[in-house]
Amino acid sequence: MHWPIRSLSRRLPALLLCISTPWLSSSLHANDDSALRQALASARAGDWSAIDHSAIAGHPLEGYVEYHLLKRQLPNISADDIVSFTSRYHDSPLAGWIRGEAISAYGDARRYDDILMVADGEPNGAENRCHYFTAQLKNSPNAAAMGGRELWHSGQSQPPACDTLFSILQSRGAIGPNESWERLTLAWRDDNPGLVGYLGKQLDSKWSSGLATLHSAETPPHLPAQLPACVGSNCSGNGALYSAIMHRATRANTTAALAAWQRWAPNAAISGERKRAIEHDLAYYILARDIESQYAWVDSVLPALNSETLLELRIRTALRERDWHGVLTWANRLPADAANDARWQYWKGRALEQLGNSSEAQQAYANAATQREFFAFAAADRLEQPYALNLSDTTVSKDLQRQVAALPPVIRAEALLRINEPGLANSEWYGAAAQLDPELARGMADYALQRGWPARLVQTTIAAKQWDALPWRFPEAYRDDFMNWGHTTGVDPYLLMAIARRESAYNPEALSPAGARGLMQLMPGTATQLSRQLGIADPGPYGILDPALNIRFGSTYLHDMLNRYDNNRLAATASYNAGPGRVDRWLATSNGEFDLFVESIPFRETRDYVQAVLAYRVIFESLANNGSTQGVSLLTPAERQADYGPSLMRR
């Protein structure tokens, strides 16, 4: 069943009669929750005498208090106690957390047998991985050597916990001069002179020519006239030297780097794998930087490199040049999975159409139109056929609802929300959604819908990979606000929904690394400007988190972008993500149709963003239309026919 969130309050009385759920009895848990909340605060503070264990016995969150007790006692606690805890809470993030803490503490205490008792395979994080492989040195030396060499192979310094492991592996010969040289070149690439100096002291005179070459090439774009014929024992260091020199040079001056490589490559005594990596790097930067004079060289190496990334870049350069033969040539070299993607089927159709092969073009468009994305919808428009939403049934039985309500992770998540621990609740919830079988994960999505948790609902579908459950992936959260401010500002409300869905996945408290906030991810400075424009008080960095105000400001900003670009939603959407200054520059050098403009956007983030938002907009409107795409259009006729060039900008 699919119940719009806006109408949930009207349906709750009937819902309560048929589903037994933990949240219904939250008032009954008030006293227990209060005791647990106090106990958890005391445990975090290490105030053990203030914890009344009898008051929290049997509470679903009792394990959170126990976790802090165990953590505080490490490493002076037996591994058996840790194993017992992880067994009891195997379905909770608590198990992984205490396991990580135990490995760290036991490692620092050199209790390596205990590490192996509590570990559940290779742990996360460099520090704990080093402890784990050190513990394996005794009984699994080959596995320890393999893991240790992987950690060693880094241009950055590793944690002190790795020192023992590295020292033993060096004494056993598992890490020798070749590995030290390899790491030294990685450190040189990463501009880590301290590590370069440290490793250089471990190498003898066989490596001096390589060290001198690195020193001479310290400041790009300077490149040595030639590289040493032999570095290290049996010339084993040549490959790492070539890789390091070319890595820096390619990024500093790609043209000079290619010229140097063409001189060196014929006589370079390095492996084929090293050569391919160097040439892949060169080809990538030539295409990304649009160095047309070097395309002939790229075309000569592309077939042997067999790289999907490079082929996609090459197709885009062919599209910029309207080289339709080139588009077909490189699209036909894509691996099968990539070639069947709607994007490349669409462009194959466009190329065939331009070259006069209409029947094969129609077939390519038909292949693309079976999918659900921007170019699939564009292909359907060319065929004048409905969009394929491919949505799955989101009906959930009452029996499944009862099963989900009784799941320990769900019970714990509800209890954590009652004591105002949403972060911990999310950890419980998303961990369960990712690990449960698909049917129970479907039930969790339905549960989130019934509880009115749009952000948690969306993230549940992502964790459980429920890509076709569109009513769950695109819920009607905050619909009234989107409709109100969309109509007030004259902005397509479904476009607003799509932007919010892409920006924050409906998390009203979302905060980006750059500082953007709320549903529509507004920067505080932008909010200040908009408040002046609207003649209202500046809401400040926290006031802007209010969903209704955030939507109002977002719709006002989008209205301004639409005015700037002649009411063109595609250009306005690009501007919402990348800023109008960049979009102005892209349009100033563009002169093409909508699809060519989208594919030519130089920022991958913005290119993907525009496609996602316009496709999401189709989905939102279709769901509001009971799943029908009749009358729903990816773009307006004016947007499809516009000249995406300087004329689109209003001055």
Nearest in space to 639 (alpha carbons), one of 593, 581, 580: 593
99, 114, 133 - which closes a domain = 133
Is 635 part of any domain? yes
pLDDT at 225: 82
Tally the residues of the chain.
651
Q: How far apart are CA 425 and CA 402, in angstroms?
A: 20
Q: How far apart are CA 478 and CA 584, in angstroms?
A: 32
Q: Report helix, strand and coil shares of the chain as percent, to nearest 5.
A: 70, 0, 30
At 290-339, the pLDDT tens digits run 999 999 999 999 999 999 999 999 999 999 999 999 999 999 999 999 99
Helix axes 163-171, 126-136, angle to 10 degrees: 40
pLDDT at 11: 32
Residues in contact with 258: Cβ distance below 8 Å, sequence separation at least 6, in sequence order: 282, 286, 294, 297
- Whether 179 sits among the annotated catalytic residues: the reply is no
Q: What is the CATH number of the domain that holds 535?
A: 1.10.530.10
Is 463 part of any domain? no
Tokens linked to 176? 């020798």
112, 133, 154 - which closes a domain = 133
Tokens linked to 272? 């084929």
Q: Distances in Å between the alpha carbon of 433 and those of 393, 409, 412, 438? A: 18, 9, 14, 9
> In a 3-state reduction of DSSP, which class is residue 406?
coil
Distance from chain centroid for Cα 10: 37
Tokens linked to 74? 């490490």
Is 597 part of any domain? yes
pLDDT at 217: 86
> Which residues form the domain of 100?
5-133
DSSP 92: S
Q: How far apart are CA 614 and CA 18, in angstroms?
A: 39
pLDDT at 223: 85
Q: What is the domain count for the chain? A: 2
The residue annotated as part of the active site, out of 503, 599, 621, 639, is 503
Query: Burial, 546: exposed, middle or buried (Cβ in 10 Å; 0-12, 13-18, 19+)?
Result: middle
Number of H helices, E strands in the chain: 39, 0
pLDDT at 216: 87
| Ramachandran bin of 279, using left for φ above 0, alpha for ψ from -120 to 50, beta for the remaining angles | alpha
Q: How far apart are CA 287 and CA 298, in angstroms?
A: 8
Q: How far apart are CA 230 and CA 387, in angstroms?
A: 61
Query: Burial, 17: exposed, middle or buried (Cβ in 10 Å; 0-12, 13-18, 19+)?
Result: exposed
Tokens linked to 247? 């890595």
Is 457 part of any domain? no
Asked if 411 contacts 456 with a C-beta cutoff of 8 angstroms, the reply is: no
Asked if 228 contacts 215 with a C-beta cutoff of 8 angstroms, the reply is: no
* 511 beta partners: 517
Q: How far apart are CA 409 and CA 431, in angstroms?
A: 9
Nearest in space to 522 (alpha carbons), one of 494, 541, 506: 541
Nearest in space to 167 (alpha carbons), one of 203, 136, 198, 134: 134
Residue in the block written with tokens 């639409």 = 562
* 214 beta partners: none
118, 133, 148 - which closes a domain = 133
Residues in contact with 491: Cβ distance below 8 Å, sequence separation at least 6, in sequence order: 485, 555, 558, 559, 562
> In a 3-state reduction of DSSP, which class is residue 432?
helix
pLDDT at 23: 41
Omega of the bond leading into 159 within 30 degrees of 0 (cis): no
> In a 3-state reduction of DSSP, which class is residue 70?
helix
Is 616 part of any domain? yes
Residues in contact with 589: Cβ distance below 8 Å, sequence separation at least 6, in sequence order: none
Q: Distances in Å between the alpha carbon of 444 and those of 15, 247, 435, 472? A: 16, 47, 12, 11
Distance from chain centroid for Cα 118: 30
Is 42 part of any domain? yes
Nearest in space to 113 (alpha carbons), one of 83, 158, 72, 145: 83
Is 600 part of any domain? yes
Q: How far apart are CA 632 and CA 622, in angstroms?
A: 7
**Residue ranges in the chain whose pLDDT is less than 70:** 1-31, 219-221, 651
Is 377 part of any domain? no
Q: How far apart are CA 182 and CA 483, in angstroms?
A: 59
Residue in the block written with tokens 């036909």 = 332
Distance from chain centroid for Cα 472: 20
* pTM, full prediction: 0.90
pLDDT at 13: 32
Tokens linked to 471? 């009513």
pLDDT at 226: 84
Residues in contact with 606: Cβ distance below 8 Å, sequence separation at least 6, in sequence order: 574, 577, 578, 582
